[in-house]
Structure 1
Amino acid sequence: MALLYRELDKAGIPLLERLRRGQFLTLPEINRLADAAQYRVADLSDEPLDYPASSTVIDFKKIRMRRRAAVEEVIAVDAANQASRIRYMADYLGFLADYFGAALSAPQKNELAQESVRVLKALQGQIPKVSNRAKVGAREGLSKEDQERLLAIVHPDSLNNPWKRGFVRLRNWLIIVLLLATGMRRGELLGLQIGDLDPSLPRLSILRRADATEDPRLIQQNTKTNDREVEVRPAIMRAVWSYIRNDRNKIKAARKFPQLIVADDGQPLSPKSIDKMFAQLREACPGLPVTLTSHVMRHTWNERFSEQAELMGLTDTVEEKARNEQQGWADDSKSAATYTRRHASRKGREIALKLQEKLDESGI
């Protein structure tokens, strides 16, 4: 719903006022909403559209070009996410049409009902098909070899490190280490504040902050899940405090902000800067996967979690509860299936090969 109203606001469309007059959205406007549903909110331009309000034609190519010019990397959400967004938009707009139509005269009510059905049918027609069988090529975490290669490249002392300035080298290394160590989202990392760090224990808190006045970014970074505490190795926490005291605090402008991760001008780092960082890594180091993004770090953590749980002999139930607690998911969440494809694929191959052992014994 936030995406819906954000896009309507950018286009200068007073939805509720229209419905009070018995008017609905036009097909070009609906098509624009379906187009926006393909992308992450952080990658969509915040600029108002520059087409006349009376226009019935929207040049989507120009919209996409402006979007691409505004960010270094534009990443589409998966088909299931896109489908869910469009369904929610259609259901909500249909509800509003019925609600406001009840207060209109009979002719206006009928006209609004007919137009809303026609336009929403066009919107629903843009819902992508999502197949549970479409697993090949789905996003996975990094292999162990790629994890080692990544950590070696981003180390501040690495000759292959793509960044020149010492502060940027250290900060970007810390970003990679924290993402791999905790499995937190990009937004959770960027929303992390110095006050969220335990001064006496290697532990940090990932908190949900709504409308944080101390965050100057246009799109505030936050967690989508429950608040939680995450423990890290003492060496990692020492590195974090060293970064704060010896590097971050040397930037005077940074002292005005509580956010842990800042740009070299002191401002809290933006999500687009994180995307740019990974784009620079992929460009500078061709050996890394072309799919490498901050969210791949989350997939990697979850696959490593599964491997460690298996080594510790945890039951599936205990593993699920432990993972949900660490990731801030609800106790009965099944989100892990999205993030553990590589591990599940490996286990599946092992079982399948076991089934073939008797065939080997038969002399095939």
Structure 2
Amino acid sequence: MTLPELTRLAEAAQYRLADLADDEVESVKPQVINLHSVRRRLKSQTPETQPVDVATQASRIRYAAAYLEFLSGYFGADLPKEQRAQLKESTDIGMRALLSNMPMVSRRDKPGARHGLSPEDQNRVLAAIDPDSPINPWKRGFVRHRNWLIVVLLLATGMRRGELLGLQIGDLSPNSPKLTIVRRADSASDARMTQQVAKTNARELELRPALMRAVWEYIKVRRSIKAARRVPQLIISDEGEALSAQSITKLFADLRRACPGLPVNLTSHVMRHTWNERFSEQAEHMQLSDSVEERARNEQQGWADDSKMSKTYTRRHAQAKGRQVALKLQEALDAPEK
């Protein structure tokens, strides 16, 4: 790609796909767009066009740069040494040009920014997803049980949607209430068109025994679905296929409709925000120091360690404190009595 093409790519990243000129977007296959043909519509032609927020634009440019740099290294590996060096030099120039178009993103909290659920809304969600609740929006018993488990696991662990959907039965410890988040890129065991992978570091999470028992109870019901026996993923559809990200989106849309008054932006990621806010409250209650709380949170969420806090003894202490806090805040999330 030439430097002007890279600039056009960065420019296109600020718009929604629907706002790009239809006659100038060439679909190669579903969800794949030929970026060489993308041009934004003129504002004079579409006054209603609104750009995405700067954080989204910056993320798009950053991911595009990472992918293009990967392609360069992938194909450059088969080139002679001199040509490989030339390609590397050209790539560096191109990446600097592309990233120079990345907007600055303020780290300050903005009005309307996503937050966790209030305690009242958490209680409303938990009441609605109870499998025996009269306002539970799902009809089938398996779906009710599965969706209860999905929401409770998200609230209990703060894991991402992709981490939950990528979780396999083999990632559960058979002898202790623990599960492991594993990064699996391009996994042959994931037949979904869009594979669900962990974005953060691999890590082990401990659950309260009651919640772990609920997971194994769900697995017993899951085994009654014949097609599911060939699927390693823990969370499946009622047809026995690994559940898609779109199904999680629909789950929370159903929940919002069943409980009018819940935040309109209630999604699986709001569960992650909620976990972090509850974690901070519990850490404060336990009087953890700021440094211990930060390390404990990083360990539980799979985030990179702060380089100033990388000593082994600090990590062990933080892991113990992290598990203690994480187990304490799960007390209200035990499985309903049968």
TM-score of the two chains, using structure 1 as the length reference: 0.65
Q: How many residues align?
A: 275
- Alignment pair present for 1:160 and 2:135: yes
- Alignment pair present for 1:80 and 2:63: no
Q: 1:90 to 1:124 in 2, by over 3 A?
A: farther
Whole-angstrom distance in 2 between the partners of 1:87 and 1:249: 42
Whole-angstrom distance in 2 between the partners of 1:49 and 1:88: 15
Which digits, 9 at most, give the CA deviation of each residue in 1:168-197, with x for residues without a partner? 111000000100000000000000011111
Whole-angstrom distance in 2 between the partners of 1:185 and 1:45: 30
Whole-angstrom distance in 2 between the partners of 1:147 and 1:140: 12
The CA deviation at 1:330 is: 1.4
CA contact (8 A) 2:15 2:40 kept: no
Whole-angstrom distance in 2 between the partners of 1:46 and 1:264: 28
- More deviation, 212-221/185-194: 212-221
- Alignment pair present for 1:324 and 2:298: yes
Whole-angstrom distance in 2 between the partners of 1:94 and 1:214: 27
- Alignment pair present for 1:217 and 2:192: yes
RMSD: 3.9
* 1:169-180 mapped onto 2 (5 Å cutoff): 169-180=144-155
Whole-angstrom distance in 1 between the partners of 2:127 and 2:15: 39
Whole-angstrom distance in 1 between the partners of 2:272 and 2:307: 16
The CA deviation at 1:25 is: 3.2
The aligned counterpart of 1:236 is 211
* Secondary structure at the counterpart of residue 211 of structure 1: coil
Which digits, 9 at most, give the CA deviation of each residue in 1:83-113, with x for residues without a partner? 14325646987997xx9xx98xxxxxxxx9x
Q: 1:59 to 1:317 in 2, by over 3 A?
A: closer
Which digits, 9 at most, give the CA deviation of each residue in 1:267-300, with x for residues without a partner? 0000011011111111221121111000000010
CA contact (8 A) 1:34 1:86 kept: no
* 1:1-364 mapped onto 2 (5 Å cutoff): 25=5, 31-35=11-15, 47=30, 79-86=54-61, 89=64, 127-128=102-103, 130-245=105-220, 247-332=221-306
Whole-angstrom distance in 2 between the partners of 1:172 and 1:282: 14
The CA deviation at 1:77 is: 8.1
Whole-angstrom distance in 1 between the partners of 2:121 and 2:38: 47
* Secondary structure at the counterpart of residue 249 of structure 2: helix
* Secondary structure at the counterpart of residue 173 of structure 2: coil
- Structure 1 segments unaligned to the other structure (5+ residues): 1-14, 39-43, 61-75, 104-111, 335-364
The CA deviation at 1:165 is: 0.8
Whole-angstrom distance in 2 between the partners of 1:225 and 1:50: 27
* Secondary structure at the counterpart of residue 204 of structure 1: strand
* Secondary structure at the counterpart of residue 223 of structure 2: helix
CA contact (8 A) 1:321 1:331 kept: yes
Whole-angstrom distance in 1 between the partners of 2:30 and 2:289: 50
- Aligned partner letter, 1:147: Q
Q: 1:249 to 1:85 in 2, by over 3 A?
A: same
CA contact (8 A) 1:198 1:204 kept: yes
- Structure 2 segments unaligned to the other structure (5+ residues): 19-26, 42-50, 77-81, 84-89, 309-338
- Aligned partner letter, 1:248: R
The CA deviation at 1:210 is: 2.1
Whole-angstrom distance in 1 between the partners of 2:153 and 2:109: 31
The CA deviation at 1:131 is: 2.9
CA contact (8 A) 2:166 2:197 kept: yes
* Secondary structure at the counterpart of residue 229 of structure 1: strand
CA contact (8 A) 1:180 1:298 kept: yes
The CA deviation at 1:199 is: 1.1
Whole-angstrom distance in 1 between the partners of 2:253 and 2:115: 18
- Aligned partner letter, 1:257: V
The CA deviation at 1:222 is: 1.3
* Secondary structure at the counterpart of residue 205 of structure 2: strand
* Secondary structure at the counterpart of residue 163 of structure 1: coil
Q: 1:57 to 1:222 in 2, by over 3 A?
A: closer
